[in-house]
Chain A
Amino acid sequence: MDAPFPIASIFASLAVVAGLALLYLRWKERKRHDRLARYGVAGGWGLIAAGIVLWAISGRKDIALSVAVCFVMAAALVFVILHGLRLPAPRRQTRARPDSERDGLDLGAGYWSRFMARLFGSLVVAPLFGAAAGAFSRKLAFGFEADRLMIMAFVMLFATAAALVGQLFAARPWRACAGLAVAAVLLATPVYAPMLWAS
């Protein structure tokens, strides 16, 4: 059975709610130019940070920070929901602004080439780039082997994700593919070249 939360957790929760309330008020009244405008954002985030710190030192070791962040997220979404419920329906239906001409899937010239580039880049090049980046980071990292492997694991994930974003962001996806592939080779060379040389 979990021990009851100590009293610090109650103050932590109150600080978080107060901070979010301040941020909400500042956001709602953003046309004002008074103390709320001047200190609202910093004060709000300061209270939230204080709440998280209070949670973290409430004596529940490494779960306290996780619980604190969960509380902040849940509380913030409550403010969003309450605001949504309070907002009346518009008297006139707002006509949404048309998006820019470049929005949407462009089926113009070169569509299938770009499609293939993005597919190849996402499924092949990005994971290979991630693996190379991870292996390179493991080679550079120092400390316990478990720490080096975890660094490698995190770098693999985030490098793959970043490569995915870059690949899909690029207006010229074949060039992005090529760039990522070259980067992957450069990162992999210091890791695998000695092995290949030795064999």
Chain B
Amino acid sequence: MSRKSPIWPKVAADFVQKNLNGHKILGLAVAGLLYLICLSGTVTVFYLDMQRWETATAPEAVFTPQGVAKAVEDARRLQPKDATSLSAYLPTPDSRRLLINAGKDHIAYDSAGRRTGKADMPVVEGLSALHYELNLPGVAGVVIVGLGGVAIIALLIGGLLAHPRIFKDAFLWRLRSGARLNRSDLHNRLGVWAAPFHLIIAVTGALIGLSQIIVLVAGLSFYKGDLIAAAAPLYGDMSAKTVAGRMDEAAIVNAFGNLKHAFPDARPNYLILNNLNTDHESLTVWADLPDRLIYAEQFEFDGKGRRVARHHLNDGPVGKQVWSSLYKLHFGSFGGTWVLWVYALLGLGLTAICATGMDIWLLKSAQKGQLHPRLHRLWVGYVWAAPTAMCVAAVTNLTGGGGFAPIFWTALVLLSVAAVGLPNARLVSRLGRWLLAVLLLALVGVHFTTFESASVTGSALWVNLSLLAIGLICTISTLHEPSQKIGLVAPHAGH
């Protein structure tokens, strides 16, 4: 029987090797950064559920124009003296919270617009700030995270070019064939099959993170330095300029009525009251449109609640619609709960790719006699310290102590460095998982102590059960660890 020649040309070994080296250099350089970004991103996929978890005693609210108008009127009194605007998160079927910002605080209201108290969310906000700006001040963090997205694109390109066995190994995962083969197969299979997800996450994340850089380049190159003019084609018209007095409750209700009349399917999710306490107040309302990837359409209303402008994010040029779709594509908030779960699992996969990449290099090096035992313990310690530090910061904040960012970063550094003092990487991994399991249990316990019966209802219940399930998986994984022989092991390999 004649053998058919393969349809794919043979890739030169030299080409593959160079791409692999380049992939390795970049991967090793940014592994720590990308791991943290991907892990925090995975956690914040369920941002709205965690928001409800952290404000478990805040009332569930449904959107009513009268309730929102009353809440806005009440919140005026709570604004700082120098505030020029007032912003509110409106209740949606997913969020079920009416929250109005007052300085650094969030104030919760019920459906009828009655104030129920503060609803601060230091844990959720700390986690999302960790993801999109690494808790760094100014634009530095956002730009670094955006560059992380560019690095992922480069790693994806280089990784695929360095994978000549991409079809031969299409479904291969040698789970029980030693640590190195296990991790290599996992790294490659996740990298290939979830490549569309990685590409979308990287591109949307990079565009969101580098949006200011992009506008800067466009502004300097084509708009004579006018950055507002450069951004206008993508963001649309600015807020209404008509002078129609102060917006009272009736005007806000009128605005929502006009919106409902023109766009019956639109679901308002956010508003800003502009030019606060002036004679030319205006209202900007963001409204989600069903079955669209755009985050929201933006509507402008004058002081009497008359609609004066729309940003056409929904039906404007394709470029504008694509720009408006970045957020939902990045966070998976477009297809219901099951898409969020797919995003979370694929996000966990991307996080695992970051973790296994460094692992593979360390294990390969050990096999060749190039040992890095301290680095190996530091890396494994860092991998488990990151989620553990998140729990430490969450527990501390729920009990009323400290800011999220300082506690998280301190715990991350201390736990990672402490791992270096342990005898081998496997012990670091086991201890890391046990410590994480204990802290997850503590977090659920603290949540129950803080919120009592509210912690076992609605979203809070599901979040707590998920935290317990993760802790259980961590514990079970240490009890049923498969043999992790790596083949040739040099003395003092640190395993």
Contact = CB atoms under 8 A, between A and B. Distances in A.
Mutual binders A and B = yes
B319 A151 contact: yes
Interface in A140-197: 143-154, 156-158, 160-162, 164-165, 167-171, 191-192
Nearest to A88: B176
A130 to B, nearest CB: 8
Contacts of B292: 61-63
Contact of A77 (B174, B189, B218, B320): B189
Given A62-B293, A66-B329, A99 B483 contact: no
Q: Which of the four size classes fits the interface of chain A?
A: 35 or more
B221 A135 contact: yes
B176 A100 contact: no
A12 interface: no
Interface string A10-28: 0000000000000110011
At the interface, is chain B mostly helix, strand, loop or mixed? helix
A152 B213 CA distance: 12
B19 interface: yes
Given A152-B214, A165-B158, A168-B21, A73 B323 contact: no
Contacts of A138: 218, 221-222
Contacts of A131: 217
B365 A104 contact: yes
A109 interface: no
Nearest to B182: A84
Contacts of B488: 95-96
Interface string B345-371: 110010000000000000011011010
B423 interface: no
A33 interface: yes
A149 B233 CA distance: 8
Interface string B175-188: 11110110001000
A131 B214 CA distance: 8
CB-CB nearest 3 A-B residue pairs: A168-B22, A84-B173, A150-B319
Given A87-B173, A127-B147, 17 more contacts: A28-B171, A60-B291, A62-B293, A63-B291, A71-B342, A89-B177, A93-B485, A95-B487, A96-B181, A98-B368, A99-B368, A118-B25, A138-B218, A146-B319, A149-B234, A157-B149, A165-B22
Interface of B: 1, 17-23, 25-26, 93, 147, 149-151, 153-154, 157-158, 161, 167, 170-178, 180-181, 185, 189-190, 193-194, 196-197, 203, 206-207, 210, 214, 217-218, 221-222, 230, 233-234, 290-293, 316-320, 322-323, 325, 329, 332, 334-336, 339, 342-343, 345-346, 349, 364-365, 367-368, 370, 482-483, 485-488
Interface of A: 1-3, 23-24, 27-28, 33, 60-63, 66-67, 69-71, 73-74, 76-77, 79-81, 83-85, 87-90, 93-96, 98-100, 102-105, 118, 122, 127, 130-131, 134-135, 138, 143-154, 156-158, 160-162, 164-165, 167-171, 191-192
